Chains A and B, each alone.
Chain A
């Protein structure tokens, strides 16, 4: 599109599985007539024979795309008629509402809470921003994330009104991150992980302890869920059309964790990055996989080696190490700070050069000067004479965070992803204390047997 808008004819070759994604992107950016060829070369293929067959099959179409005269619609596209629905989009019982929403592609597959005027009005009490306030326009549709639309999706997810400040801040953080134009639609299936620090954790009962990544807490479950619905219904990012995540990611249902600041021997994540301890902060990053390792032993040395030796070469360098309070205490007692730990892992998480994807040129998007070692070693180029057995670092220490969370058991968990970290302070409404008090006793009580 950038080339076409500079008055040069262009044709895009896309794998046929991405065709609808490409058309959606082109329409969303105002150039629906762009000429796109859905080729049959396997995704990310580097086998010459398969590429040759794919190009041979489309060569006449490629030439025609650059030379065949424009149609009237390509020269002057007309706007597609858009639906102008009434405010009440549907009336029905619980089952019918759910089936209607599901068939419109508005859910994540789970049942939703019907977003009635009454439910949405209650949700809106969680913020003092007006319902019509546009928090952001979310790509690729540039859908308006009004406070009301955020509230509607929050109701559907089963969220409480006290989550509205979190949802609004999270939307802003994801926009700042660039999530909607990048990871949200990537074949890499990156899912936002939302990490919480500060008083908000207790205010809205975000789980910071045992089973921190398991179901069972409304806050952890529905904050992530609501944001997933917002990505879909406001951003317009739907699985298989705009969201090209190949295998997908269960983290797209929810991935919300709180730091166990009370039992951590170290500075919490948000304080490390410039916030005050009393600030409520959300931090996001983009993992696409989760690995758990049983520790090799419970001494500091064994805990650290467990982490360092269980990071695989295919990881992209960004990582959150989830460490329970018991292991954190062992490490701190031996004088390890969070940064010491990260430095140790950066040094000892290594693999033979030939095990790294960039050795096989799998990651062209990494600048050549960063390729070797993936540790910011500027100026060290991947040289054909480098030995394939040379040991190289796997992670980028600047992109690694340590987060104390989870139960008292022996496992270390690692969420690996790509890209940077964004933290934002959560702005709370004036009546926050009253709101917290109103919903604070909504906690589960488990019958003993």
Chain B
């Protein structure tokens, strides 16, 4: 018995190329720097960032540490999309302003997902 032959189309979608960006220049040293500690609201975030602070402080006693987390889960783009939407109980624009002030203040950031 001859089996049928099928010429099939691809289900995999096309996507526009996303413009690529390089990452930021690194610091020469962490001594005396302000290190931001960011976690994304998951349960292991706080203890991981606290441990990072403790261990980095042992190596760099003059480093300072600044913590940040959003009050709810969601990335920056999610927050930008939600500004001004009705029913949103978190003032996203205020959250973003708080984030911008924090980023401006620090020299580098260690982020923990904690998931």
Instruction: Tell me whether A and B are bound partners.
Output: yes
The residue in B4, B73, B103, B110 that gathers the most chain A C-beta atoms within 10 A of its C-beta is B110
Alpha-carbon gap, A175 to B28, bound state (A): 43
The verdict on A181 contacting chain B, using a C-beta distance below 8 Å, is yes
* Chain A residues, CB < 8 A from B38: 3
The verdict on B86 contacting chain A, using a C-beta distance below 8 Å, is no
Alpha-carbon gap, A31 to B81, bound state (A): 20
The residue in B43, B75, B89 that gathers the most chain A C-beta atoms within 10 A of its C-beta is B43
Of A52, A56, A66, A156, the contact of B26 (CB 8 Å cutoff): A66
Interface size on B, residues (CB 8 A): 69
* Chain B residues, CB < 8 A from A87: 9
In contact, A141 and B69 (Cβ under 8 angstroms)? no
Known contacts A10-B108, A45-B44, A92-B6: does B15 contact A143 (CB below 8 Å)?
yes
**Chain A positions 134 through 167: 1 when the CB is less than 8 Å from some CB of chain B, otherwise 0:** 0001100111111001001100100000000000
Alpha-carbon gap, A323 to B109, bound state (A): 50
In contact, A8 and B15 (Cβ under 8 angstroms)? no
Of A52, A63, A106, the contact of B12 (CB 8 Å cutoff): A106
In contact, B26 and A68 (Cβ under 8 angstroms)? yes
In contact, A44 and B59 (Cβ under 8 angstroms)? no
The stretch from A189-197, A279-287, A359-367 touching chain B is A359-367
Of A90, A137, A229, A236, the contact of B8 (CB 8 Å cutoff): A90
The verdict on B5 contacting chain A, using a C-beta distance below 8 Å, is yes
Of A4, A93, A362, the contact of B5 (CB 8 Å cutoff): A93
* Chain A residues, CB < 8 A from B113: 12-15, 18, 22
Of B41, B44, B78, B111, the contact of A12 (CB 8 Å cutoff): B111
In contact, B20 and A30 (Cβ under 8 angstroms)? yes
Sampled A-B contacts (27; CB under 8 Å): A4-B23, A8-B36, A8-B109, A13-B48, A30-B18, A31-B20, A31-B21, A33-B23, A35-B23, A44-B115, A48-B51, A77-B20, A88-B9, A91-B5, A92-B6, A141-B13, A142-B18, A144-B14, A149-B11, A149-B13, A178-B78, A182-B78, A233-B12, A364-B42, A364-B69, A365-B41, A365-B42
The stretch from A110-118, A205-213, A339-347, A427-435 touching chain B is A110-118
**Chain A positions 63 through 99: 1 when the CB is less than 8 Å from some CB of chain B, otherwise 0:** 1001111100011111100100101111111110100
In contact, B6 and A93 (Cβ under 8 angstroms)? yes
In contact, B5 and A181 (Cβ under 8 angstroms)? no
* Chain B residues, CB < 8 A from A365: 41-42, 72-73
Known contacts A33-B23, A34-B23, A68-B26: does B7 contact A116 (CB below 8 Å)?
yes
The verdict on B94 contacting chain A, using a C-beta distance below 8 Å, is no
Please give the distance in Å from B102's CB to the nearest CB on chain A: 10
B window 1-51: CB within 8 A of A: 3-30, 36, 38, 41-48, 51
Please give the distance in Å from B107's CB to the nearest CB on chain A: 7
In contact, B21 and A51 (Cβ under 8 angstroms)? no
B window 45-97: CB within 8 A of A: 45-48, 51-52, 55-56, 59, 69, 71-78, 81, 89-90
In contact, A115 and B11 (Cβ under 8 angstroms)? yes
- Determine the residue in chain B with the shortest Cβ distance to A37: B110
* Chain B residues, CB < 8 A from A48: 47, 51
* Chain A residues, CB < 8 A from B55: 55-56, 59
* Chain B residues, CB < 8 A from A233: 11-13
Alpha-carbon gap, A66 to B108, bound state (A): 7
In contact, B9 and A55 (Cβ under 8 angstroms)? no
The verdict on A43 contacting chain B, using a C-beta distance below 8 Å, is yes
In contact, A152 and B11 (Cβ under 8 angstroms)? yes
In contact, A146 and B18 (Cβ under 8 angstroms)? no
In contact, A120 and B9 (Cβ under 8 angstroms)? yes
The verdict on A383 contacting chain B, using a C-beta distance below 8 Å, is no
* Chain B residues, CB < 8 A from A362: 43
* Chain B residues, CB < 8 A from A30: 18-21
In contact, B44 and A46 (Cβ under 8 angstroms)? yes
